[in-house]
Amino acid sequence: MTEPSGDVLLEITDLSLEFRTYRGPIKALNGVSLNVRAGEIVGIVGESGCGKSVTMMAATRLLPKGAAHITGGGIRLFGSDPMKLSERELQHVRGRQVSTIFQEPMNALNPTRRIGEQIVEVIRRHQRLDNAAATSKASGLLRDMLISEPERIMQAYPFELSGGMRQRVLIAMAFSCEPRLIIADEPTTALDVTVQALILGLIKHKATSTGTAVVFISHDMAVVSQLCDRLYVLYAGRVAEAGTTASVLAAPAHPYTRALIRCLPGLAPPKQPLEQIPGTLPDLLDPPAGCLFRARCREADDRCVSVPPLAAIEPARRAACWRRIEETQAA
């Protein structure tokens, strides 16, 4: 697969991971490979429980200690294995090189402290700036988020702001230390559609103007397709399909990707009724053999009793579907 050029910031290779629970191991990831290069916006998309968050939490070593076990493959984040970093090195990476934006900003902000203090503290923790310079930088970052009165917002407490405004504050904070990579985990899911569009535009503009790479996690194909250069479609802890957003949307190769697209107004073919994907994700405590999408797939046949590899189907495209792999081989 031809990849875009640029430094590889994150490389996940064949990563398998399980959670050991009293009911048995939950096989959350099964051979996931993905990479992110400097300056690109990469989407990870798939329905709830498919492993999007776990993949990126593993990459930044944010998974609960003791419960999550890597059983295969590896991760290189800025050239190092995050599992082997000391706590101090990890803090440096998390503060200076990678920032994360989560879905619920209220959980990430301290409810008892003013917004301004919190942004200034983050800036000063990682940059040698005095209070006045950090305050001025915070104000500029809020303006970049189209907050017209940053001084007033900096005086406010989190509960005084709307959800969309709080999320803009968190995005400003994420960019404040000039990281090379931002991980945005469903940052707009809790917001209404108009605010969502504004926030997506702000992330895209700021990332493009600063050259920051973004991994954008979402269950919403419409959202990732607006924002991302490349997509990884995850299903039940495996990559079902990967490629540039334009090529995936133009000719989705995996039946799961096609089903995700057919569910969405705006992306579905015109004049066809929107569809639902029947069934649910397989039980990851006891996954069935073969292709994990088989039970929900209207195109499944005898070949699908064995697991399809994630194979190159065209330049810069991979898919894990026997039908598509064999069509490619036959062509």
> Which residues contact ligand ATP by CB under 6 A?
19, 21, 26, 28, 46, 48-54, 64, 67, 219, 284
- CB of 30 or CB of 99, closer to ligand ATP: 30
Give me the least distance between CB of 270 and ligand ATP, in Å please: 29
- CB of 65 or CB of 128, closer to ligand ATP: 65
Q: How far apart are CA 121 and CA 126, in angstroms?
A: 9
User: How far are the Cα atoms of 13, 41, 189 from residue 197, in angstroms, in the given order?
Assistant: 33, 16, 11
Query: Locate tokens 């200076």: which residue?
Result: 96
Give residue 78's region: left, alpha or beta (phi > 0; psi -120 to 50).
left
Q: What is the DSSP string of 303-317?
A: GGGSPPP-EEEETTE
DSSP H or E run through 259: helix 255-262
Give me the least distance between CB of 156 and ligand ATP, in Å please: 29
As beta bridge partners, residue 24 has: 21
Give me the least distance between CB of 55 and ligand ATP, in Å please: 7
CB-CB contact of 61 with 183 (8 Å): no
- CB of 19 or CB of 256, closer to ligand ATP: 19
Q: How far apart are CA 119 and CA 116, in angstroms?
A: 5
CB-CB contact of 240 with 254 (8 Å): yes
Give me the least distance between CB of 280 and ligand ATP, in Å please: 11
- CB of 206 or CB of 238, closer to ligand ATP: 238
Give me the least distance between CB of 286 and ligand ATP, in Å please: 12
Q: How far apart are CA 33 and CA 45, in angstroms?
A: 14
- CB of 126 or CB of 296, closer to ligand ATP: 296
* Pairing between β-strand 181-185 and β-strand 41-45 as defined by DSSP bridges: unpaired
Give me the least distance between CB of 159 and ligand ATP, in Å please: 25
- CB of 96 or CB of 219, closer to ligand ATP: 219
